[in-house]
Amino acid sequence: MVDYFISFAPMEGITGRIFRKTFDRHFKGVTDYYTPFITPKEKRGLDKKDIKELMPKNNDGLKIIPQILTNSYEAFNLTAKKLMELGYEEININLGCPSGTVVNKGRGAGALKDLDSLRKLLDGIYSESEKMGLLVSIKTRIGYNEADEFAEILSVYKKFPLAKLIIHPRTRMEFYKGKVHKESFSLALQEYSEKGRIDGLCFNGELNNVSDIKDLAHEFSNLNHIMIGRGLLRNPFLAEDIIAVNNMDRSKRLRLYLDDLLFGYLEEFNGSNAAILKMKELWFYVKESFEDSEHYLKDIKKAKGVAEYRAAVNVLFSNCRIKQA
Ligand SMILES: Cc1cc2nc3c(=O)[nH]c(=O)nc-3n(C[C@H](O)[C@H](O)[C@H](O)COP(=O)(O)O)c2cc1C
């Protein structure tokens, strides 16, 4: 199979600093991590919390690409400068978030509605980033309402020196459900290979198992970069499966990862219930690693406090088999 660069998709509320460090300690195969979006803060770009999340020393030397969500190039440029001061050389702009409160302000996928404004936004960003020597990549959807909006959106992107174009081939209206539009990705591949820029394209969406990756490799044989989100949350061994690492003892390794993550959150939240809430959020995905886990999962969801949570996790691990690749 192709030797893919595998990026961990940004996931707000999930793939923060503690998660990234823990995941990377336990699993191989992920090349880099995109941070959940940062919204620029007035006058100062980043606040204390953002800085704590992003300080390279708090990220164990992982390759991190910070992501910014805004529809203002002034706000982007100010925040980008602060990120450069922290040592970052590449930043991503979010043109895909479908949430109502985000798109109503013309941010995320909302920026795809009005292409004149999009052009102005990118003009303001790229003219400054070129001066600063900063690489700026884009993570995008293929349209707001319809997939056929993508050709025009691409013609806007092609005017700018994107460091990378990461495509989640769905429209805003499709949120995270339904079939991905591979034909739209194919359009981008054609456009960019004409420019000899194939290295700059990345596919994201519904890569949930090795067979999905094989299909992708078959369809787009010259693609070498993929981004995975929920697939890695559901099956943390997925990147290892893709690069064909021999991964035995899945149950034991999964348990160690989840225990380590709990420990990290407990430390971060001073032992409070917030740590358990974070773990429960993850179980929504990681339950898919197990066969017939629904019954045992109920007790994890109901658990109040660390002791109940741990007991419920013990029972699940003793009773459910891990799905094999
Ligand atoms: C809970 C959640 C949070 C997300 N947060 C972000 C985000 O902060 N920035 C972003 O660009 N995409 C975000 N996404 C989208 C993912 O990065 C990714 O594009 C999407 O999940 C499709 O990829 P997948 O099928 O591999 O999960 C989020 C998705 C989910 C489900």
Query: Which residue numbers in the chain have pLDDT < 50?
Result: none
Integer Cα distance of 59 and 17 in angstroms: 6
Indicate yes or no: pTM above 0.85.
yes
Q: How close is the Cα of 204 to the center of ligand 1, in Å?
A: 9
pLDDT at residue 248, as a whole number = 86
**Ligand 1 site residues, Cβ closer than 6 angstroms:** 9-12, 14, 36-37, 67, 94, 96-97, 139, 168, 176, 204-207, 228-231
pLDDT at residue 209, as a whole number = 96
Q: How close is the Cα of 301 to the center of ligand 1, in Å?
A: 23
pLDDT at residue 197, as a whole number = 52
Fold (CATH) for 5-242:
TIM Barrel (3.20.20)
Give the CA distances from residue 47 to residues 88, 185, 265, 270, in Å, rounded to whole numbers and listed in that order.
16, 36, 21, 21
Annotated domain spans of the chain: 5-242, 250-319
pLDDT tens figures, 10-32: 999 999 999 999 999 999 999 99
**Which protein residue has the closest C-alpha to ligand 1 atom 14?**
11
pLDDT tens figures, 161-180: 999 999 999 999 999 999 99
**Which protein residue has the closest C-alpha to ligand 1 atom 23?**
205
Integer Cα distance of 268 and 121 in angstroms: 37
Q: Is 18 exposed, middle or buried (0-12, 13-18, 19+ CB in 10 A)?
A: buried
**Which protein residue has the closest C-alpha to ligand 1 atom 15?**
11
**Which protein residue has the closest C-alpha to ligand 1 atom 12?**
10
Angle 127-95-30 from CA coordinates, rounded to 5°? 100
**Which protein residue has the closest C-alpha to ligand 1 atom 21?**
229
Integer Cα distance of 135 and 88 in angstroms: 9
Name the strand (E) or helix (H) holding 204: strand 201-204
Integer Cα distance of 191 and 46 in angstroms: 36
pLDDT at residue 246, as a whole number = 81
21 contact partners, CB below 8 Å, separation of at least 6: 59, 60, 62, 264
Q: Is 196 exposed, middle or buried (0-12, 13-18, 19+ CB in 10 A)?
A: exposed
